[in-house]
């Protein structure tokens, strides 16, 4: 059962409700990301791709015991191409956008911009799906840390792998078509 009146009253619309959920849940993760980025900056390691990946992933993994269904919620949003860019523009993802920018800069040293954009999308899918799986499994801290280490390695590898296409400069990323759906 839907109560669109309550959503409209409290949040304005569905997009307002989504922003409110993310603002609430992302705050603690963002705090951890900011802390780790500050440490990397102090150490002069903002160009260390693996360390930057860790700074973006570890705070999220640490929040899994308290996350409820948050990462599964983000994984569902990730399947809607128009939703993620809108959310990334919000303050809730400000530190994560810095992580993505640093990862993109590392990849642009050896890949064309269009391919970097494509890999960012792959990495986003991978991270959201992995976090959602960890959250659903509820396997405990030790299991989360094992998966986290592998996830960090996978994202770093995605950004650091050479172009495998015959003509990477001609690469055009595929963007999923959006379609509007009417609900009755």
Look up residue 83 and give its two tokens: 């939703």
- 64 and 151 in contact (C-beta within 8 Å)? no
Domain ranges within the chain, ordered by starting residue: 9-170
H-helix or E-strand spanning residue 103? helix 94-108
Of 18-32, 42-56, 95-109, 151-165, the least confident:
18-32
Among 96, 98, 18, 31, which residue's Cα sits nearest to residue 63? Answer: 31
Mean pLDDT, the chain, as a whole number?
Answer: 84
How far are the Cα atoms of 9, 100, 176, 177 from residue 56, in angstroms, in the given order?
34, 9, 25, 28
Q: What is the pTM of this model?
A: 0.82
| Fold designation for 9-170 | Tetracycline Repressor; domain 2 (1.10.357)
- What's the CA gap between 45 and 147, in Å, rounded? 24
Task: Find the mean pLDDT for residues 8-31.
Answer: 79
- What's the CA gap between 137 and 37, in Å, rounded? 29
């Amino acid at each position: 059962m839907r109560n669109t009146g309550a959503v409209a009253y409290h949040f304005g619309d569905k997009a307002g409700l989504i922003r409110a959920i993310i603002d609430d849940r992302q705050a603690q993760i963002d705090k951890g990301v900011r802390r780790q980025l500050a440490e990397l900056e102090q150490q002069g390691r903002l160009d260390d791709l693996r360390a930057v990946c860790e700074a973006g992933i570890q705070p999220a993994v640490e929040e899994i015991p308290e996350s409820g269904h948050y990462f599964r919620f983000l994984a569902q949003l990730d399947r809607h191409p128009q939703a993620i860019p809108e959310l990334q523009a919000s303050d809730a993802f400000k530190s994560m956008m810095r992580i993505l920018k640093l990862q993109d800069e590392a990849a642009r040293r050896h890949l064309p911009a269009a391919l970097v954009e494509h890999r960012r999308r792959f990495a986003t899918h991978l991270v959201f799906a992995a976090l959602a799986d960890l959250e659903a499994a509820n396997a405990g801290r030790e299991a989360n840390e094992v998966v986290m280490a592998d996830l960090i390695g996978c994202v770093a590898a995605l950004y650091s792998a050479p172009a495998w296409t015959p003509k990477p400069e001609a690469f055009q990323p595929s963007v999923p078509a959006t379609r509007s759906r009417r609900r009755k």
